[in-house]
Amino acid sequence: MTINYDHPLRPQYHFTPEANWLNDPNGMVYYEGEYHLFYQHHPASTIWGPMHWGHAVSRDLVHWEHLPIALYPDHNGTIFSGSAVVDWEDTSGFFDGKAGLVAIYTQTLDIPDTDLSKQRQSIAYSKDNGRTWTAYAGNPVLSDERFVDFRDPKVLWHAASARWIMVLAAGDRLCLYYSTDLKEWTFASEFGEKEGSHDGVWECPDLFLLPVEGQPGSEKWVLIVSIGDDEGQPEGSRTQYFIGDFDGVTFTNNNGPESVLWLDHGRDNYAGVTWSDAQGQGGARLLIGWMNNWKYANIIPTGEWRGAMTLPRKLSLRMQEDGIRLVQEVPRELSVMRADRHELRDEQIKPGSNLLHSYKGELLEIEAEFELDSALEFGFKLRMGSGNETIVGYNAVDGELFIDRTRSGAVDFHPQFGCRHSAPLDGENGRIKLQIWVDRSSIELFANDGALVMTDQIFPLKGAEGIELYAEGGTVWLRSLQLYPLKSVYAAANITEKATP
């Protein structure tokens, strides 16, 4: 099959399947120098259907090599979301005393003559670095018929109790289990029935320990929970997190049950989970999400592929005025995509002027630091042209950061896609820092060193590449700006336009 990576909306540095449907990232594990990325995949259609695990690997988090489908549906059902671990000590007995990879995932089996299905957990193992997988003969390894929704197992090694822990979504709560061999699972506890947001069904949990920045010896457990779309919620599907303690059996939320912490304030970051085993090998805790939203996931106007991942993000915990919060930054590895660098310093931005009028680009990284002044609003208009523009702005009156994609390009495929949405953000010493990543069909915004993140898809017209730096109702100081045109990861295969000054 010839793949057209140069389709005007094909992401040029975000992961996409070669063709057909992609949703959640699955089974992410770092092993022998490779980041594995499996994903929910329908290999025969650009809409969701019988799920398989697609597979790709990367050594640098930038270039991904597509590999054959890793897991196919079998007599236990289709392959829903799940995780993978390195079984270093061969606790499973699958690896003749050596290390190997074990995947833990949901299988969904239709119950004949009904609309119902069973969701049960299975495992498979690989002795060849994830290239081929063998389903365990004793599958499924965990079921509980009381729950209709019972899926998305994330497994971690809990060193203090020397046991594997599984955290699993069961409708309106999480169930936790433990095991010494990845095959037999014992119920440990439940979490969440009355905690956080329940705007939709709970899905795709993750649980991990992170140090708190600048506080040596201080660590907290982070519990991530995605919540599915609900017709009544304009936001659609999104992801929340909890900060707390975990003793190997029970997770305790350190915040009140009514407190809701959002991982991303944009519309298109769902089902994100982190890589296993990278952190233990000196690496960071890295998350990747599905850059889409169940509200319109099946009808976004892409091409022979449908669905992309967010950029990978390095997670850390930071003590802020309102408590410990998760912060996200794009790993340094991605700076190899920079093709050029333009810089501005100490410029006063006035209404009606555009210091960036001579620049354009569809693949960009922008870093800007503003000092608040009299402007009521300021920011960037991106992917401008032929009536298209996407605004990334700060409303200084309300203290809110926003993305406005109402005129971003194709929006009318769903009534709630063309929207402006915002989140509260205070200046730090009167300054607002923005880091913006622009690709052919997305904007990712990291504010104040990753304290607030917004991820949005956009579908602009080809050639809409203009950039404006604007201020309204007064002036704002641009203390510094770096503009990096980025290279496509397909540079050798495609001729891509480069932004020119």
**Is position 113 annotated as part of the catalytic site?**
no
Nearer to ligand FRU, 139 or 388 (CB): 139
Q: Answer yes or no whether residue 222 interacts with ligand FRU by CB under 6 A.
A: no
> Between 136 and 155, how does the x/- string for binding to ligand FRU read (CB under 6 A)?
---------------xx---
Nearer to ligand FRU, 94 or 150 (CB): 150
280: Cβ contacts below 8 Å, ≥ 6 apart: none
> Between 78 and 117, how does the x/- string for binding to ligand FRU read (CB under 6 A)?
--xx------------------------x-----------
Q: Answer yes or no whether residue 204 interacts with ligand FRU by CB under 6 A.
A: yes
The DSSP code sequence of 434-455 is EEEEEETTEEEEEETTTTEEEE
- With 0-12 / 13-18 / 19 or more C-beta atoms within 10 angstroms meaning exposed / middle / buried, residue 310 is buried
Nearer to ligand FRU, 81 or 126 (CB): 81
316: Cβ contacts below 8 Å, ≥ 6 apart: 210, 211, 213, 285, 326, 327, 329, 450
Q: How far is the CB of 105 from ligand FRU (least distance, A)?
A: 8
Asked if 126 and 132 count as a contact pair (C-beta separation under 8 A), the reply is yes
Q: How many residues sit in the footprint of ligand FRU (CB under 6 A)?
A: 12
Q: Answer yes or no whether residue 51 interacts with ligand FRU by CB under 6 A.
A: yes
Asked if 408 and 383 count as a contact pair (C-beta separation under 8 A), the reply is yes
Q: Answer yes or no whether residue 203 interacts with ligand FRU by CB under 6 A.
A: yes
Nearer to ligand FRU, 170 or 364 (CB): 170
Q: Answer yes or no whether residue 364 interacts with ligand FRU by CB under 6 A.
A: no
Q: Answer yes or no whether residue 23 interacts with ligand FRU by CB under 6 A.
A: yes
Nearer to ligand FRU, 40 or 92 (CB): 40
Catalytic residue among 6, 24, 199, 456: 24
Q: Helix, strand or coil for residue 337?
A: helix
Asked if 270 and 239 count as a contact pair (C-beta separation under 8 A), the reply is yes
Phi-psi region of 90 (alpha: psi -120 to 50; beta: other; left: phi over 0): left
Interactions with ligand FRU, residue window 263-292 (CB under 6 A): 271
Residues 388, 290: Cα–Cα separation, whole Å: 25
114: Cβ contacts below 8 Å, ≥ 6 apart: none
226: Cβ contacts below 8 Å, ≥ 6 apart: 202, 203, 204, 205, 237, 238, 239, 240, 270, 271, 272
Closest by alpha carbon to 383, among 303, 484, 464?
Answer: 464
Q: How far is the CB of 222 from ligand FRU (least distance, A)?
A: 19
Q: Which tokens belong to 159?
A: 């060193």
Candidate list 10, 17, 21, 24; residue touching ligand FRU; CB under 6 A:
24
Q: How far is the CB of 107 from ligand FRU (least distance, A)?
A: 10
Nearer to ligand FRU, 203 or 365 (CB): 203
Q: Which residues bind ligand FRU (CB under 6 A)?
A: 23-24, 40, 51, 80-81, 106, 151-152, 203-204, 271
Q: Which residues are tagged catalytic?
A: 24
